[in-house]
């Protein structure tokens, strides 16, 4: 929460980008603690990695300081308060965290625990869920990571420029310019 508030309050955009990368890395660590390794991997790759690189690339093309508006608008504050209110209202109907009697723990999780080693043939339950039951979801996550990587390479990649020899290019210019001999002939040489 402290990092999120610091990101919002920052006027130095480079520092805000670095803090957002740190925030994503901390969130990935929290996902690992919650045994959601696949989500942690995606958060670390996309949130802390690719997003940070893209934002740094954008900052290299723009300024690193935020434009400070003289008269702040109230509309963003209203939107944030309304969105936060809707999220709190939606979260009020959720079961308690880590409640074993929650509906999600009653119908799918026991089946995965009891049947997946036999049905899939993989002894690790997380691997069996990711590779079999959630195969398309995992493929989608990999597609997002691959597409983001290709996007970064396209945005930050640079074409190789062929360096021309300055002497050869001036000779070619003089040969291709039909007025060049006349200019040279019309200009008298001055000797000292």
Domain boundary among 66, 95, 115: 66
Q: 112 lies in a domain? A: yes
Q: Residue 162: what pLDDT?
A: 45
Q: Residue 161: what pLDDT?
A: 47
* Alpha-carbon gap, residue 68 to 180, rounded angstroms: 54
Q: 87 lies in a domain? A: no
Instruction: Enter the tokens of residue 183.
Output: 């200019």
The model carries a pTM of 0.47
Q: What 8-state DSSP symbol labels residue 55?
A: H
Q: Residue 98: what pLDDT?
A: 79
Listing DSSP states for 78-121 in one string gives: HHHHHHHHHHHHHHTTSPPTT-TTSTHHHHTHHHHHHHHHHHH-
By CB neighbour count within 10 A (0-12 exposed, 13-18 middle, 19+ buried), where does 20 fall?
A: buried
Q: Residue 179: what pLDDT?
A: 52
Q: Residue 88: what pLDDT?
A: 94
pLDDT in tens, 3-19: 878 878 787 888 888 88
Residues of the chain under the 70 pLDDT cut: 69, 158-192
How many domains in the chain? 2
Domain boundary among 151, 167, 187: 151
Its domain, for residue 136, covers 106-151
Q: 30 lies in a domain? A: yes
* Alpha-carbon gap, residue 3 to 92, rounded angstroms: 25
* Alpha-carbon gap, residue 46 to 126, rounded angstroms: 21
Question: Rounded to the nearest 10 degrees, how much is the dihedral formed by the CA atoms of 130, 136, 139, 141?
Answer: -80
Q: 96 lies in a domain? A: no
């Amino acid at each position: 929460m402290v990092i999120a508030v610091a990101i919002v309050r920052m006027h130095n955009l480079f520092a805000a980008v670095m803090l957002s990368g740190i925030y994503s890395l901390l969130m990935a660590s929290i996902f690992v603690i919650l045994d959601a390794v696949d989500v942690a991997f995606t958060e670390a790759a996309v949130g802390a990695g690719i997003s940070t690189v893209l934002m740094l690339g954008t900052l290299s093309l723009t300024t690193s300081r935020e434009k400070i508006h003289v008269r702040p608008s109230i509309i963003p504050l209203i939107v944030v308060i309304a969105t936060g209110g809707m999220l709190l209202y939606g979260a009020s109907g959720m079961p308690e965290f880590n409640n074993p009697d929650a509906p999600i723990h009653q119908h799918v999780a026991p089946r995965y625990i009891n049947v997946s080693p036999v049905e899939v043939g993989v002894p690790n339950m997380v691997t069996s869920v990711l590779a079999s039951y959630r195969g398309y979801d995992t493929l989608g996550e990999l597609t997002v990571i691959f597409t983001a990587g290709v996007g970064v390479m396209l945005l930050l990649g640079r074409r190789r420029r062929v360096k021309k020899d300055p002497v050869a290019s001036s000779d070619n210019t003089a040969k291709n310019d039909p007025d060049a001999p006349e200019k040279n002939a019309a200009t008298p040489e001055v000797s000292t």
